[in-house]
Amino acid sequence: GQQLNQSPQSMFIQEGEDVSMNCTSSSIFNTWLWYKQDPGEGPVLLIALYKAGELTSNGRLTAQFGITRKDSFLNISASIPSDVGIYFCAGPHGSGAGSYQLTFGKGTKLSVIP
Amino acid sequence: GAVVSQHPSWVICKSGTSVKIECRSLDFQATTMFWYRQFPKQSLMLMATSNEGSKATYEQGVEKDKFLINHASLTLSTLTVTSAHPEDSSFYICSARVRGRSSYNSPLHFGNGTRLTVT
């Protein structure tokens, strides 16, 4: 099946620092999604990317859809304590309207030191 | 918008009993809902795809007779864990997509998950 390789697995950063994480795949994806999951909760969509080369921002978050359609990165600028959580990349697979499924990366656990 | 509500948020049950988890789309209709399972410190693994008015599609290795899915309406899907065992203890999360939107332009929205503990 399709796999998404996410790195780094975890990172500890100082409050105020910028963060960068990425996701790669051996397969082409037509959409890249970035989610954040807080402990004990479901994932929350941060950014959705639909076109190769697309660069999209959501507040302090910026994500890009790689030109090859096999990778994506997520940047967080000026990190704050509430950025703590696990960040997942995800891409859809399957065919037919209404039936696509998501494959998730293994996640990047972010810890912010105040 | 696009709120998915899951109930209960946590449940403890005895081994051998059955547990039902509900997933509702509160402000939209969802012809398709997905059920995921997440073990501690691991990623989300798709268990099954729930289609309104038809049988669910299960991923390889997921027992359909153990994890019963019923998608009876456009806003409700249920997952019943039958004859639960301690190894079924996990975090179960449902997700849904807004009805009518094309596959690749409509991200999934997730519920807050259900923590199941089987003793």
Q: What is the pLDDT of residues A32-55, one digit of tens each?
A: 999 999 988 999 999 999 899 999
Yes or no, beta carbons of B103 and A107 under 8 Å apart: no
CB-CB neighbours of A36 under 10 Å: 22
Shortest alpha-carbon distance between residue B85 and chain A (Å): 21
Q: With bands split at pLDDT 50, 70 and 90, how would you rate the model's confidence at B28?
A: confident
Chain B residues with CB-CB distance to A31 below 8 A: 104-105, 107
Per the CB < 8 Å rule, is B103 touching A98?
yes
Which of A43, A50, A104 has its CB closest to that of B104? A50
Confidence at B54, pLDDT banded by 50, 70, 90: confident
> Coil, helix or strand for B89?
coil
Residue of B nearest to A106 (CA): B43
Pick the more confident residue, A100 or B12: B12
The pLDDT, as a whole number, for residue B97 is 79
Q: How far apart are CA B67 and CA B82, in angstroms?
A: 6
Determine phi and psi for A82, rounding to 5 degrees: -75, 0
Mutate to test the interface with A, among B95, B103, B116, B117 (most CBs of A within 10 A): B103
Whether A98 shows a pLDDT value over 50: the answer reads no
> What pLDDT is recorded for position B100?
62
pLDDT value at B2 more than 80: no
